[in-house]
């Protein structure tokens, strides 16, 4: 084949076009990398505490697993990573990441200055007493079969088992603080905290634990052991315990919570959310009452407006990252 001037010019133009395309591809890759590097990150916390977080293979995801997944889906403007932290270490971890978020907090005044809270996004039924069948017969009960917690704590020395860092509703926390001299608290830390406390209770290491009924239901379903009983607490009757997401008490945490609050109405209407909550949190036979209370207290326009700002300790300035 004879190479003419026209052939050479064609080859030159093709080579120039290839070079141009390569430059464009490289530049697009660089821009994409820059965008990825500038994307804010939410680091989520999980712990080994079924049924809040389920690490073992299970047919139904944990409550916290589902909440986190739905918020990750609703917040594509963030990158999302997950960190496994025992509940007892969470207090010392908030400022390590900007921000760190935990999907299964109790909505109320923060118990320390490390975090702030989203608007409520979950309704829990009241806590109760879990104890052995034998010890249940020794507890002071009212005519409705509810434990009179004030009488129990004021008249007896009580061995209470709990996970490290565990808190309850404001009313129960107040009673535990009021009668702390009569309490001997056995704390379980590390992995498998909730499961471990239930196992220790079953073996008589302490008298009672305070927990949700669905936690005991999950334990029985997993272990097929039936030696423990749930008893409602008289002082908690009618209490509605609201769940929320906690994020680092910092500007980055406040920005994340603003996005979380904006996404909450969408998240709690999601079919996956409704199925998971129905599986774990809604007592059999109380489905209508549960969702009516949920809709009235959580989803009315006035409640959404009132709860849209992060709940934080008003005496706390933002901490620098340690």
Average pLDDT, the chain: 82
Q: Residue 321: what pLDDT?
A: 28
Contact 261, 117 (CB under 8 A): no
Cα separation of 307 and 119, whole Å?
A: 5
**Which two tokens mark 318?**
């933002």
pTM over 0.95? The answer is no
Distance CA 257, CA 270 (A): 19
pLDDT at 51 over 50: yes
Q: Which of 23-37, 65-79, 153-167, 224-238 has the highest mean pLDDT?
A: 65-79
User: Each residue of 269-283: b (16+ CB within 10 Å) or e?
Assistant: eeeebeebbeebbbe
* Domains of the chain, CATH where assigned: 41-124+241-306 (3.40.190.10), 128-236 (3.40.190.10)
- Region of 269 please: left (phi>0), alpha (psi -120 to 50) or beta: alpha
pLDDT tens for 143-156 read: 999 999 999 999 98
Mind listing the pLDDT tens digit for each residue in 164-214? 778 888 899 999 999 999 999 988 766 667 888 999 999 999 999 999 999
Task: Spell 169-194 as b/e; 16+ CB within 10 A means b.
Answer: bebbeebbeebeeeeeeeebeeebbb
């Amino acid at each position: 084949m004879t190479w003419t001037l026209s052939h050479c010019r064609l080859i030159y133009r093709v080579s120039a076009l290839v070079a141009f395309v390569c430059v464009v591809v490289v530049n697009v890759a660089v821009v994409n990398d820059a965008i990825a590097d500038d994307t804010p990150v939410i680091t989520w916390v999980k712990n080994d505490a079924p049924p809040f977080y389920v690490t073992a293979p299970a047919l139904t995801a944990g409550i916290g697993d589902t909440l986190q997944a739905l918020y990750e889906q609703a917040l594509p403007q963030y990158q999302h990573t997950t960190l496994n932290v025992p509940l007892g270490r969470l207090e010392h971890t908030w400022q390590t990441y900007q921000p760190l978020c935990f999907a299964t907090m109790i909505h109320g005044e923060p118990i320390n200055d490390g975090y702030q809270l989203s608007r409520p996004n979950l309704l829990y039924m009241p806590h109760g007493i879990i104890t052995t069948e034998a010890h249940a017969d020794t507890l002071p009960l009212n005519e409705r079969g509810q434990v009179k917690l004030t009488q129990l704590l004021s008249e007896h020395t009580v061995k209470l088992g709990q996970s490290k860092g565990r808190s309850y509703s404001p009313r129960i926390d107040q009673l535990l603080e009021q009668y702390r001299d009569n309490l001997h608290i056995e704390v379980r830390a590390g992995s498998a905290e909730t499961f471990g406390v239930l196992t220790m209770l079953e073996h008589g290491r302490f008298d009672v634990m305070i927990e949700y009924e669905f936690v005991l239901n999950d334990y029985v379903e997993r272990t097929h052991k039936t030696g423990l009983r749930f008893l409602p607490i008289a002082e908690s009757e009618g209490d509605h315990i609201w769940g929320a997401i906690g994020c680092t008490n910092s500007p980055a945490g406040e920005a994340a919570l603003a996005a979380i609050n904006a996404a909450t109405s969408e998240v709690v209407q999601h079919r996956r959310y409704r199925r998971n909550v129905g599986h774990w949190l809604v007592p059999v036979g109380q489905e209508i009452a549960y969702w009516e209370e949920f809709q009235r207290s959580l989803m009315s326009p006035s409640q959404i407006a009132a709860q849209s700002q992060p709940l934080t300790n008003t005496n706390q300035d933002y901490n620098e990252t340690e």
